[in-house]
Structure 1
Amino acid sequence: METQKHPERERFYSRIGALNMTPLWESLHTLVPREPETPCVPALWRYQDVRPWLKQSGELISAEEAVRRVLVLENPALRGQSAITQSLYAGLQLILPGEIAPSHRHVQSALRFIVDGKGAYTTVDGERTTMHPGDFIITPSWTWHDHGNEGIAGVSEPVVWLDGLDIPMLRFFDAGFAENDSSHAQQVRRPEGNSFARFGYNMAPVRHAHSSATSPIFSYPYARSREALDTLQRQEAADAWHGFKMRYINPLTGGYPMPTIATYLQLLPKGFRGKTHRATDGAVYCVVEGRGTAHIGGQQFTFEPQDIFVVPSWAPLRLDADDDAVLFSYSDRPVHDALGILREAFLED
């Protein structure tokens, strides 16, 4: 059916356009859709394909020169925007033995999820933590942080981690600030494990007054998180949609560990065939253990350890596991919760 033309309306639009105005009725259904219409698409990055390019980046530029040697994972539908969803950033960072990624700080909140190698460290606000595969580490907004790679027990190897930040979100608000430190590496003021000792055992110092919106624990060791999933697998039945899925929390509030980013760890038992669900928060997944298939928005992606995939907002997701599979994920759910706009649907297939 041919669209009817209205010359008088077109002339009207042209005239009000000169005053930087436009008619709402021409775009209302796009601005206020019946359900989410994201430009993002499902995608998967196979680590075995990415790893050689990470290695080559280490030959081309030093961590000091790059400040952060990262290969950004861009959503195929958002090329040039350094975004994996409309609100989230993802990148794989490499640090080689003997290197230091210099100290700086920024308003953007960041997470590190260790993907490959061990022996590197990150220092956050004067406390250092050694990185191990599967560890979830937080860099709170506007805190000094640097990274280095000294190895463990005399053994040094390249270390790769997934960076997750709220960069696109802060870019939308035009609220980004950053500052370089006066020295490459911070002075370590507290022993390693200090924050976990104070807050990681369901206790807190009696005179502690915590004003930050971010968890006082900045390193969540994989060994402890994995133990929790293993215990649940032995004691409970798997959720039909998520398997065994746990949310990392701020131990002082029970809320999200970061004000703009939620983080999760889940176990899909061998042979798991999940039901379909969807949610308005877009999510990024990193495979820690096991193999399986992610069915996202009508597409199938087989995954294996260290692969990364993205689930756009409101895209139907179903997860299958060929053997015990562990997945880390993060999303912008805290913002959805705070604004009261989160929606979920659990389908019975």
Structure 2
Amino acid sequence: MEQLARLEDLPVTYVDTLKQNNLVPLWPSLRNVLPPVKPVPLTQAIAWKFQEIKPLLIEAGELTPIEKAERRVLVLANPGHGLDNMRATSVIYLGMQLLLPKEWAPAHRHTPNAVRLIVEGENAYTTVEGQKCPMSHGDLILTPSGLWHEHGHDGDEPVIWLDVLDLPLVYYMEASFVEGGECQPVVSVLDKPRYGAGLVPTKHHIRAETDYPMLRYPWAEAKQLLIDLAKEQTDAPVQVAYVNPETGEDCQKIIGYSALMIRPNETVQLPPRSAAQVFHVIEGQVELKIDAQTFALDKADTACAPCFAAVDLINHSSEACFIFVADEAPIQKKLGLYSVRERR
């Protein structure tokens, strides 16, 4: 494509007149908003090390009581978007949240969708619309848009989890807000999986009252499924998606979630996709290559890959590695923007 005229090529008086009338010439910036062939993402390849985050999060617990914080979180911010914008990607927000023993993070509800991936600690819980969800390592818990939720901790050691929200997108749409509420009465405890073996409770299957029949996805169940699949699919990557068990659709509407197993001494190559991705190590170690950059990830580390990046996941260990993945595919598919390309 030939070079377009620059803003500097226009008379200053003409440009000033445009500004006075709240007008902007498109052609000098056309290639910025419509770059050739593929986007030029602000999202950078980056990794956050849990061993560096944890002591700062524990210190935050000493510096700020939960009553003054509401949610005690350190945001995993991507410098490509500017740290003050608190984005991991253009759609995904990430935060490491701390809850100390006997603390209660008060009930609220907000427009962004959120999930909690439990990183460390036991005996905490999240209550969503009266459904009490125990929080154990690796569990995924949904707190969808508009649903009341709160966090409590009955244990003796700090609990840390990874928050994943579609906050950047909802905020950009000027639709982001929160409402405070009172402590919720517990209606039921979701301590055992309610879906399995191709069976669903009839009262939910013939239902119209909720889009989220499953709020807690236990890691023990997901891990065992990955191990079983690895025995059957010996020549293919092993990955499972977190879905609505009644519809088979993504468990939330904007961000997609999955779990990936990297076998011992295995390399998994992911094709370039239009959706940015986040990787969080639940168990094990992995070498993550994103285009020309390489990151050594240990348990509880988190990393981000921009759109159309070539991603390699390399397990040099004799033990399997399990990775939680969040990506922007659901919203892109709904908008007809999603695509996958061949690696070069």
Instruction: Output the TM-score relative to the length of structure 1.
Output: 0.91
Match of 1:85 among 85, 89, 99: 89
Change beyond 3 A, Cα 1:186–1:25 = same
Q: Aligned runs of 1:229-240 on 2, under 5 Å?
A: 229-239=226-236
- Find the counterpart in structure 1 of residue 239 from structure 2: 245
1:266 counterpart residue number: 260
SS of the aligned residue for 2:189 comes to: coil
Q: Displacement, 1:297?
A: 2.7
Deviation of 1:193 after TM superposition, in Å, equals 4.0
Q: Any runs of at least 4 consecutive aligned residues in structure 1 with deviations exceeding 4 A, and if so which?
A: 3-10, 198-201
Which residue of 2 is the match for residue 47 of structure 1? 50
Question: Structure 2: 5+ residue runs without aligned partners?
Answer: none
- Cα deviation, 1:309-349, whole Å, max 9, x if unaligned, reads 011122221111123110001112110010010011242x6
Supply the distance in 1 between the matched residues of 2:198 and 2:154 (Cα, whole angstroms): 29
**Structure 1 residue 31 displacement after superposition:** 1.1
| Cα RMSD after superposing both structures | 2.1
Cα distance, 1:256 vs structure 2: 0.4
Cα 1:190–1:5 change in 2 (3 A) is closer
Counterpart position of 2:128: 124
Q: Give secondary structure in 1 for the equivalent of 2:188.
A: coil
SS of corresponding position for 2:243: coil
Work out the CA distance in 1 between the residues paired with 2:151 and 2:185: 12
**Residues 190 and 216 in structure 2, CA contact (< 8 A), matched pair in contact too:** no
Matches within 5 A, 1:258-297: 258-297=252-291
Choose the corresponding residue for 1:74, options 65, 77, 82.
77
Change (3 A) 1:12 1:178: same
Change (3 A) 1:306 1:10: same
Give the distance between the partners of 1:253 and 1:311, measured in 2 at CA. Answer: 29
Decide whether aligned partners of structure 1 residues 22 and 292 sit closer, same or farther in structure 2, where only a CA change above 3 A counts: same
1:293-322 deviation digits (Å, cap 9, x = unpaired) = 111131000111110101112222111112
Q: How does 1:1-349 map to 2 (within 5 A)?
A: 9-34=11-36, 35-78=38-81, 79-151=83-155, 156-181=156-181, 183=182, 185-193=183-191, 196-197=193-194, 202-206=199-203, 208-210=206-208, 212=210, 214-239=211-236, 243-323=237-317, 324-347=320-343
Q: Quick one: which amino acid aligns to residue 54 of structure 1?
A: L
The amino acid that maps onto 2:307 is: S
Percent identity of paired positions between Structure 1 and Structure 2: 30
Q: TM-score, normalised by structure 2?
A: 0.92
AA aligned to 2:214 is: I
User: Per the alignment, do residues 200 and 97 of structure 1 end up closer, same or farther by CA in structure 2, a change over 3 Å counting?
Assistant: farther
Residue 171 of structure 2 aligns to a residue in which SS? helix
Paired residue type of 2:15: Y
- Provide closer, same or farther for how the CA distance between residues 232 and 95 of structure 1 changes in structure 2, counting only shifts above 3 A: same
1:254 & 1:236 partners in 2: Cα distance?
A: 21
- Tell me if structure 2 keeps the 8 A contact 1:277–1:318: no
The number of equivalent residue pairs is 336
* More divergent stretch after superposition (111-120 vs 14-23): 14-23
Cα distance in 1 between the residues matched to 2:7 and 2:324:
52
Q: Which amino acid aligns with 2:324?
A: F
Is 1:64–1:99's contact at 8 Å kept on the other side of the alignment?
Answer: no
Consecutive unaligned residues of structure 1, counting only runs of 5 or more, are none
